[in-house]
Amino acid sequence: MIGRFLTSIGVLAVLAGPALAAEEAHEVGIFENPETWVAVSFVFFLVALFKPIKKMLTSKLDGRTEAIKSALDEAQRLREEAQHTLAEYQRKQRDALKEAEGILAEAREEAGRIEKAAAERTEELLRRREQQAMDMIAAAEAQALADVRGLAADRAIEATRRLLTDATAGDGGDALVDQAIQELPSKLN
């Protein structure tokens, strides 16, 4: 800023130089020349405006500097926050992968237990069904044996009835029935 001011003064001096040279040729004093006073008043004007302009430019530049610094600080804070969030999500992803592997291993173990239990239940069911079939066969054999015995008993009774009917036909049969009736009370006790 000061360099600009000095450059401005140098430009004024260069502009005022030919005017001064022309006046020296006429032998007029430097302070009697109106251009000299215009140049001096211009220099005073610039000096008078230098402080407010400098103050305005400095405050403007300081405000801009603060705004840029604030924006940089905010960007740095956001960057750190984003890195923290990224690290947190990466950690969560690793934890989720470990948890998924654990769940998968647990599911495999559970599937093995279920498979083993199903095999045991199937084997037990087959044994029960086999036992039921054996029991049904035994019951059918017992029923068939009972039916055969019943049939044999019915045939034997029928044959006995015919024999007794034939043997008791007539007077001899009445005597035999009377004797059986008399023996009945002794056989019941």
Helices (H), ranges, the chain: 2-26, 34-167, 171-188
The radius of gyration computed from the CA coordinates of the chain, to the nearest angstrom, equals 68
Secondary structure of residue 61 in the 3-state scheme: helix
Q: What is the pTM of this model?
A: 0.37
User: What separation in angstroms does the CA of 144 have from each of 9, 125, 130, 136, 154?
Assistant: 142, 28, 20, 12, 15
Task: State both tokens at 103.
Answer: 């769940």
pLDDT for the residue 157? 83
How confident is the model over 45-65, as pLDDT tens digits?
Answer: 988 888 888 889 889 999 999
Q: Which amino acid does the sequence have at 107? A: A
- Using the predicted structure, report yes or no on whether residue 80 has a pLDDT greater than 80: yes
Q: Lowest-pLDDT range, 107-116, 130-139, 172-181?
A: 172-181
Nearest CA to 85 out of 70, 93, 73 is that of 93
- Using the predicted structure, report yes or no on whether residue 1 has a pLDDT greater than 60: no
Please, which residues have CB within 8 angstroms of residue 13's CB and are 6 or more apart in sequence? Answer: 39
Please, which residues have CB within 8 angstroms of residue 176's CB and are 6 or more apart in sequence? Answer: 167, 168
Q: 173 and 167 in contact (C-beta within 8 Å)?
A: yes
Nearest CA to 12 out of 48, 30, 36, 33 is that of 36
Q: Please state, in angstroms and rounded to a whole number, the distance separating the CA atoms of residues 167 and 72.
A: 136
Task: Quickly state the pLDDT bin for 170 (edges 50, 70, 90).
Answer: low
pLDDT for the residue 7? 57
